[in-house]
Amino acid sequence: MLDDNFNKFWVSFKAWHRCDLPDSSMLKDEYVQEGYEYVAAQYGNGFDSISYRYVNVDYDSLYQKEYGVEWIDLFDSDNTSVAAFKPFIELLYDVCVKTDERYRFTIAINERLRKFKIPYKLQSGKLKSEGYKSTEKIQKIVNYEMCERKIRFSEEMIMSQDFLDKKAALDYIVDSLQYLISVALGERVRDKYKALALTISEDENNKIYSVVKTELDELMKIANEFFDIRHNEYLNKAKEMRESLNDKMFIEYLYNRVYALTYLIRLKYTVKPKQEVQNG
């Protein structure tokens, strides 16, 4: 569905780039040129000259200079991808748009992305995946290298249509949850599950506590014992064969399940040095 929507978005964007952008005053003067078209005169047998403005950007030179690669003419096709559009729109924003017009340019791009239900947005000159989001905002960064960066990568990869990208997204989000478990208080894994559940609900008799603790146990069992998630070995610790995940929809189901729990833990995450976790 994303590919179909993006193809429609791209056709619309090309029309906007050709017809509206040159007259919008968003681009620097050197990237807009005057052109002339001759049409049959309204009166008489001659021709009238009509002027128009057009975008005149040497994308090939800019790509070579900024990215060190050849420009593949995106405008020559009605089919492109988010991966190809990302460096293009970021280059257009950074190099060609006037500094004081970047905000208006960002609004124009994001309105078109929303219109065609593309789950990305232009923010501070970077095209970012919106992915799954909660109304609650993450206020704390637990560990950028081991946790947050992997979550961001996973949010982008899960939106891809490529199977391996989706599989990598699942691996990354499970890695992030595993990190949160590893830094929780407790010697044994079961103790760590209890400690994390206590950050969500401090009452062990509360059903929320029970649900979170059970979900942690089940998700890590699925990741470590049932399927080839984060593991290359065919056999788990119990010498049982791990199944290979080949269903993209099931991968997305697991991803969303792990993502939701990881998001909840990050929202509630607190360090409680005095917290005692009982064995049992």
For residue range 79-90, list pLDDT tens digits in order: 788 889 999 999
Instruction: Work out the burial of residue 173: count CB atoms within 10 Å of its CB; fewer than 13 is exposed, 13-18 middle, 19 or more buried.
Output: buried
Flag whether pLDDT at 139 surpasses 70. Answer: no
Q: Which residues 6+ apart lie within 8 Å of 249 measured at CB?
A: none
Sort strands 120-123 and 47-55 into parallel, antiparallel or unpaired.
Answer: unpaired
Both tokens of 202, joined, read: 């401090």
- Sorted by where each begins, the domain ranges of the chain are 2-129, 144-268
Lowest mean pLDDT of 61-75, 150-164, 210-224, 231-245, name the range: 231-245
Flag whether pLDDT at 185 surpasses 50. Answer: yes
Mean pLDDT of the chain: 81
Both tokens of 64, joined, read: 């070579």
What pLDDT, on the 0 to 100 scale, is given for residue 76? 86
Please give the Cα distance from 268 to 142 (Å, whole number): 11
pTM for this entry: 0.53
Q: Which residues 6+ apart lie within 8 Å of 195 measured at CB?
A: 184, 185, 186, 275, 277
The dihedrals phi and psi of 114, each to the nearest 5 degrees, come to -65, -40
Nearest to 94 by CA among 119, 71, 120, 127: 127
Please give the Cα distance from 79 to 11 (Å, whole number): 8
Please give the Cα distance from 268 to 184 (Å, whole number): 13
What pLDDT, on the 0 to 100 scale, is given for residue 277? 38
Question: Using an 8 Å Cβ cutoff, are 130 and 120 in contact?
Answer: yes
How many other C-beta atoms lie within 10 A of the C-beta of residue 123? Answer: 11
Q: Which residues 6+ apart lie within 8 Å of 44 measured at CB?
A: none
Percent over 90 (pLDDT), the chain: 32
Give 163's pLDDT tier (boundaries 50, 70, 90): confident
Please give the Cα distance from 278 to 191 (Å, whole number): 7
Please give the Cα distance from 255 to 253 (Å, whole number): 5
What pLDDT, on the 0 to 100 scale, is given for residue 36? 61
What pLDDT, on the 0 to 100 scale, is given for residue 235? 52
Give 136's pLDDT tier (boundaries 50, 70, 90): low
pLDDT, tens digit (0-9, with 9 covering 90-100), for 24-70: 999 999 999 986 665 555 666 665 556 668 899 999 999 999 999 99
Flag whether pLDDT at 273 surpasses 50. Answer: no
Quick one: average pLDDT of 240-260? 85
What pLDDT, on the 0 to 100 scale, is given for residue 169? 87
Please give the Cα distance from 209 to 229 (Å, whole number): 26
Please give the Cα distance from 249 to 156 (Å, whole number): 16
Lowest mean pLDDT of 19-23, 41-45, 126-130, 222-226, name the range: 41-45
The dihedrals phi and psi of 140, each to the nearest 5 degrees, come to -125, 140
Considering only residues 14 and 272, tell me which one the structure prediction assigns the higher pLDDT: 14
How many other C-beta atoms lie within 10 A of the C-beta of residue 43? Answer: 6
What pLDDT, on the 0 to 100 scale, is given for residue 29? 94
Flag whether pLDDT at 192 surpasses 70. Answer: yes
Q: Which DSSP helix (H) or strand (E) runs through 207?
A: helix 207-221
Give 96's pLDDT tier (boundaries 50, 70, 90): very high
